[in-house]
Amino acid sequence: MGPKTGLKVYFDGKLVDASQAKVSIYDHGLLYGDGVFEGIRSYNGLVFKLKEHIDRLYESAHTILLKIPLTKTELTKAVIGTLKANHLRDGYIRVVVTRGVGDLGLDPRKCLRPTVFIITDKITLYPEKLYKEGMEIITVPTPRNLPEALNPQIKSLNYLNNILAKIEATNAGVAEALMLGAQGYVAECTGENIFIVRDGVLKTPPPYVGILKGITRGCVMELARKIRVPAAEEMLTRHDLYNAEECFLTGTAAEIAPIVKIDGRVIGSGRPGRVTLRLMADFRKLTKTDGVRV
C-alpha cells in the first residue's frame, strides 16, 4: 500500500502531500535503522497521553545521542497540526526522527541534521473478533534483544528483532509471538507488553528483563489499582503464563487484547476474563478524558 491520496504529512517543518514526502536514500534511518519513533492514538479529537509519548521519544533520542531539532512544545504543535490538516479525530500518529542524511559510513557525525516526519492515518492491528473471543499466541525461538546490546527501552527504527519474531508467529498461523529474554524469562510480544492475572494479582515483567516500558502498560497498572486489583512487576516464566487465570496484551495500537491460548495451553476458562474485560472497559473510558485536545 502506498500513501493515501490527499493525506498530508509533516516533513521537516512543512505539511506536504504524502506522495511528495520522500526520505533520501542516504538517510541513516533507512541505511542503518538509526533513529527513533513513537506511535500515538487520537480518540474523538483527544490525543491520548501525548505528553508521555513525546517525553519517551526524547528519552530514546537522548540515549542514542540524537538531538531532535524541535522543542517538545514545537513537536506537540506539529502533531496536532498534522491531525487537523487531515481532519482526523480518531487516528493513529507515527512520529519519526532519523539521524538524517549522511554518507555510506556508520559515523553519525556525518549526518548534519535529523529528519523529522509525522504521519497520521488509521490503524487496525487485530480483527474485532479477537477482542471478543480472545487470541492465541506462541512462544518463538527468537529472543528479545539483550538490554546490554540494544535496550528495548529505546524505541528505535531498528525493529528487525521484533519482525523476525512476527514472521515466526505468522508462519505458525497465529497473530502474535511471545518473546523470552536471554535467561528464558518472559519479556514481551513483538509490539505489546504482556500481563497475567494469577491469585488475584495483576503481574507483568519488569523493564530490566528487556522490554519497552509501554504507555498503555502504565495506564493499565494504574487502572487495576483503582479497582483494587494489586499490580506488580515480577519475573515470569512460561509456566506462570500457562497456569494464569487470565492473560492479555497491551499496546498503543493493540490497546488491550485478551489472550486465551499460549503454546496450545488454554488460559483460564478459555475466554477473556473478568479482570481483563473490566480493564478494557475502563481503558476505553480513560481514552475519552486523558489527552490533548485537537
Give the pLDDT confidence of 210-224 residue by residue, as tens digits. 999 999 999 999 999
Domain that holds residue 256: 128-286
pLDDT attached to residue 142: 97
Going 45 to 46 to 51 to 57, the CA torsion angle's sign is negative
pLDDT band at 2, cuts 50/70/90?
A: low
The answer to whether 108 and 65 are in contact (CB under 8 A) is yes
At 104-129, the pLDDT tens digits run: 999 999 999 999 999 999 988 889 99
204/220 same-domain check: yes
pLDDT attached to residue 179: 98
Q: What rounded mean pLDDT belongs to the chain?
A: 96
Structural domain includes residue 294: no
Structural domain includes residue 1: no
Structural domain includes residue 2: no
Which residue's entry shows cell 495500537? Answer: 253
User: What's the one-letter identity of residue 105?
Assistant: G
Which residue's entry shows cell 476505553? Answer: 284
54/97 same-domain check: yes
What is the rounded average pLDDT of the residues 35-61?
Answer: 97
Is 155 annotated in the active site?
yes
Q: Is the pLDDT of residue 39 over 70?
A: yes
150/201 same-domain check: yes
What share of the chain has pLDDT > 70, as a percent? 98
148/271 same-domain check: yes
258/207 same-domain check: yes
State which of 88, 121, 154 marks the end of a domain: 121
157/272 same-domain check: yes
What is the rounded average pLDDT of the residues 53-70?
Answer: 98
What is the rounded average pLDDT of the residues 94-110?
Answer: 97
Query: Across the strands, what pairs with 250?
Result: 193, 256
The answer to whether 82 and 8 are in contact (CB under 8 A) is yes
134/101 same-domain check: no
Catalytic residue among 155, 166, 213, 261: 155
174/82 same-domain check: no
Number of domains in the chain: 2
45/111 same-domain check: yes
State which of 84, 100, 121 marks the end of a domain: 121
pLDDT attached to residue 96: 98
What share of the chain has pLDDT > 90, as a percent? 94
103/36 same-domain check: yes
The alpha carbon of residue 127 and the mean position of all alpha carbons in its chain are separated, in whole angstroms, by 18
What is the rounded average pLDDT of the residues 89-114?
Answer: 97
Which residue's entry shows cell 493513529? Answer: 92
At 240-266, the pLDDT tens digits run: 999 999 999 999 999 999 999 999 999
Query: Across the strands, what pairs with 194?
Result: 249
* CATH number of the structural domain spanning residue 172: 3.20.10.10
At 170-218, the pLDDT tens digits run: 999 999 999 999 999 999 999 999 999 999 999 999 999 999 999 999 9
**DSSP-based three-state secondary structure for 240:** helix
State which of 77, 101, 121 marks the end of a domain: 121
pLDDT band at 4, cuts 50/70/90?
A: low
96/136 same-domain check: no
143/187 same-domain check: yes
Q: In whole angstroms, how large is the CA radius of gyration of the chain?
A: 19
